[in-house]
Amino acid sequence: MSNESRVATPYEVAGLIPAAGKALRVSPLPCSKEIFPIGFHTTERDGELRPKAVCHYLLERMAVAGITTCYVVLGDEKWDIPSYLGDGRMVGVDLAYLVRKNSPGTPYTVDAAFPFLRGKIVALGFPDILIRKTDIFVRLIQYQRSTDADVVIGLFPAEQPMLVDMVQREEDGGVKQIVIKPKTTALTETWGVAVWTPAFTEYLHDVLSRRTTGREAQELFIGDIIQAAINDKMRVVGLSVSDEPYLDIGTPQNLIKAVRNYSE
């Protein structure tokens, strides 16, 4: 991706991608889920079509927003990801890899990058989620600057509420509640990307440092940390970034749909 296509940002924004999950619902796969081929891209070198890994889409969207460095947090068995992506030249972002062995949940995976994220704005994305819109991080970064919110979450229509975090918003855009995988709900929006400030990075790290991670501990989601921040009076706002749902390839049905929709 050329430098001309990037959006300049006046302060450092670091990309953050948790990639330590085991993809049990779609296993076995011949590779890590994050680099499963979905669709094709045209190479800048020779203009030829090449298979496009699912995480390539997310990294492109970060690059468009002017994000130049992204931290990818791996499980210790997922070395095929750096083997494939390399230094990030292919996707237009400099990549750094961290390892979180036996992560008990996504918040702990994210927190593995804590020493590298302090003092930076963080743009979080999930490498197994496909989003058509290309300007999602551009809009989130701009909205965070205009609102000075601690956390801005990017909102999407929810196609499968029982599988995601549902979001209740106030009229002013402030997030009132995050409901994790409700059995039934009247809410219509979920979140799929986020931008947050150094204050939330410190908050997440502090919350996790005080928690038990043994078998008796309840599974923890990023949505739980965001809800705790709301309860502790941090400013969390939501911004609609797409009028169509994102597509999570973590189930067989969605993987089939992704292969069909992105192979055109």
Residues 209, 124 contacting (CB under 8 angstroms): no
For 6-30, what is the mean pLDDT?
Answer: 80
Average pLDDT score, the chain: 92
- The C-alpha atoms of residue 172 and residue 122 are separated, in whole angstroms, by 23
**Phi and psi at residue 15, to the nearest 5°:** -80, 150
In the Cβ-directed half-sphere of 226, how many Cα atoms lie within 13 Å?
32
CATH top class, domain 3-261? alpha beta
Q: What is the pLDDT of residue 213?
A: 62
The domains of the chain are located at: 3-261
Q: What is the pLDDT of residue 214?
A: 59
The answer to which of 2-6, 27-31, 211-215 has the lowest mean pLDDT is 2-6
- Enter the pTM of the model: 0.92
- b/e 203-216 (16+ beta carbons within 10 angstroms → b): bbbebbeeeeeeee
- List pLDDT tens digits, range 167-199: 999 989 999 999 999 999 999 999 999 999 999
- List pLDDT tens digits, range 82-123: 999 999 998 999 999 999 998 999 999 999 999 999 999 999
How far the first Cα of the chain sits from its last, in Å, is: 22
- How many other C-beta atoms lie within 10 A of the C-beta of residue 86? 10
